[in-house]
Structure formats: structure tokens, C-alpha cells
């Protein structure tokens, strides 16, 4: 799967109000209605690990995030951007590492991507990319997360049954360092993400 694709312009979209007006006018085909923009955030930087082919650190430094119903889009101030379909976002959460809060995502991709580095000895790792979304205004993390959760819910995995979906909604807690709150303990970055899942219901399964 090649999930993250480079773009030169923001995909067509409409606001929720425009969508209501179009639907209210009874269009000829509902399939032709552009997807709805659920959140837009200026002054955002992103981090990609491994980096996206030809998308430079300068491209990542500042841009606008568009949470559109059919894709998560980042358009850099340099004039280039990328988009990710929601089925490829296998995990998204509000993370609070020492370096600063962000929206942390795991993307299922890389297989067959032009310019991607082959890693025969670790094929599983080569199929995953990490994306961190860092808005200049930390208060924007919550609305970004909620918009992403809403859009993700519109794209359930067709290969997962309802029972499997419920089973996979909760991760094995033994895989995380959970924070007990005891004096002298310090919450690791992994524990911070897990704590967000448990205490703030930050995990949004498909």
C-alpha cells in the first residue's frame, strides 16, 4: 500500500454549511458532492519518520493542515503537500512527550513507494511510517484529534468484523509502560500515549 501521496494543491472540499446547502437542493448525484472539511489549522509543522521521498525538512517546517472527510492533508507554505487516506492511519493519538505535545500517527504504507528504502531484514518495520502533527497552538490538538476521529469513523475496515473491531479497539496493556501516579515516577513517552488512551479515551478505532 502506498498511502501518503505528494500533492501540489489542496483537494476539492466544501464546508459543512456548503454541504448542507448542496444536499438541501437535491443534487443530481450525491456521489459528486465534494468531501466536507472538518477542521483547518494554520501554522502547523510535521515530522515524518522515515521521511517522505522528496518532501524536505523545509517543506515540513510550516503549513496548513486540512482534516477532510476522505483524507488528511498537509499543504506546506513551500507550495507542496501530501495527503493520507484514513484507512492507512492505523493509530492516532494526542501524545505529550518532553519535546512538546502533538498528534501522533502510525501510517500503514511504504510498500511499493517510489524512492522508498528496501529493508529485507525487517519488512514489518518498512511498512510503517510515523507522522507527528505539531500545531503552533497546543489548544488546537483536541479539535484536530476529534475531527480526525470523526473522519476515521467514516472509513471502517471492510476486512474486520464487528466482533474483531471491538477486540482490537483496546491494546494489550502489557505492551505499554503505564503510569501509576506514584511519587517519584516519571511517565515515559510510550506511557504518555498509553495514558492518553486510558484516561482521556484518546484512541479512535476504525
pLDDT digits (tens, 9 = 90+) for 31-56: 788 999 999 999 999 999 999 889 99
Q: How many structural domains does the chain have?
A: 1
Please, are residues 99 and 38 in contact by the beta-carbon 8 Å criterion?
Answer: no
User: In this structure, what CATH number is given to the domain that contains residue 44?
Assistant: 2.30.29.30
Residue 76: inside a domain: yes
Residue 171 placed within a domain? no
Q: Tell me, yes or no, whether 192 lies in a domain.
A: no
Q: Is residue 195 part of a domain?
A: no
Cα separations (Å) of 5 from 89, 114, 173?
A: 13, 10, 33
Task: Inform me whether the pLDDT recorded for 14 exceeds 70.
Answer: yes
Write the CB contacts of 89 (distance below 8 Å, at least 6 apart in sequence).
Answer: 72, 105, 106, 107, 108, 148, 152
In a domain, 164, yes or no: no
191 belongs to a structural domain = no
> What is the residue range of 152's domain?
5-156
Can you tell me the mean pLDDT for 54-67? 97
In this predicted model, what pLDDT tens digit does every residue of 173-200 receive, in sequence order?
A: 444 344 444 444 444 444 444 444 434 4
Residue 86 covered by a domain: yes
Examine residue 111 and state whether it is found in any structural domain, yes or no.
yes
Amino acid at each position: 500500500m502506498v498511502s501518503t501521496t505528494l500533492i501540489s494543491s489542496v483537494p476539492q472540499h466544501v464546508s459543512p454549511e456548503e454541504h448542507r446547502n448542496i444536499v438541501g437542493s437535491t443534487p443530481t448525484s450525491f456521489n459528486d458532492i465534494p468531501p466536507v472539511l472538518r477542521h483547518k489549522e494554520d501554522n502547523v509543522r510535521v515530522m515524518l519518520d522515515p521521511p517522505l521521498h522528496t518532501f524536505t525538512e523545509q517543506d515540513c517546517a510550516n503549513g496548513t493542515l486540512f482534516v477532510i472527510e476522505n483524507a488528511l492533508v498537509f499543504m506546506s507554505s513551500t507550495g507542496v503537500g501530501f495527503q493520507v487516506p484514513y484507512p492507512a492511519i492505523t493509530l492516532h493519538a494526542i501524545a505529550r512527550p518532553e519535546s512538546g505535545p502533538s498528534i501522533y500517527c502510525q501510517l500503514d504504507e511504504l510498500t511499493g513507494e517510489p524512492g522508498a528504502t528496501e529493508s529485507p531484514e525487517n519488512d514489518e518495520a518498512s511498512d510503517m511510517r510515523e507522522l507527528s502533527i505539531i500545531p503552533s497552538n497546543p489548544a488546537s490538538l483536541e479539535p484536530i484529534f476529534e475531527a480526525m476521529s470523526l473522519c476515521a469513523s467514516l472509513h471502517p475496515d471492510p476486512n474486520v468484523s464487528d466482533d474483531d473491531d471491538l477486540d482490537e479497539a483496546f491494546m494489550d496493556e502489557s505492551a505499554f509502560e503505564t503510569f501509576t501516579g506514584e511519587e517519584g515516577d516519571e511517565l515515559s513517552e510510550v506511557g504518555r500515549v498509553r495514558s492518553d488512551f486510558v484516561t482521556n479515551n484518546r484512541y479512535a478505532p476504525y
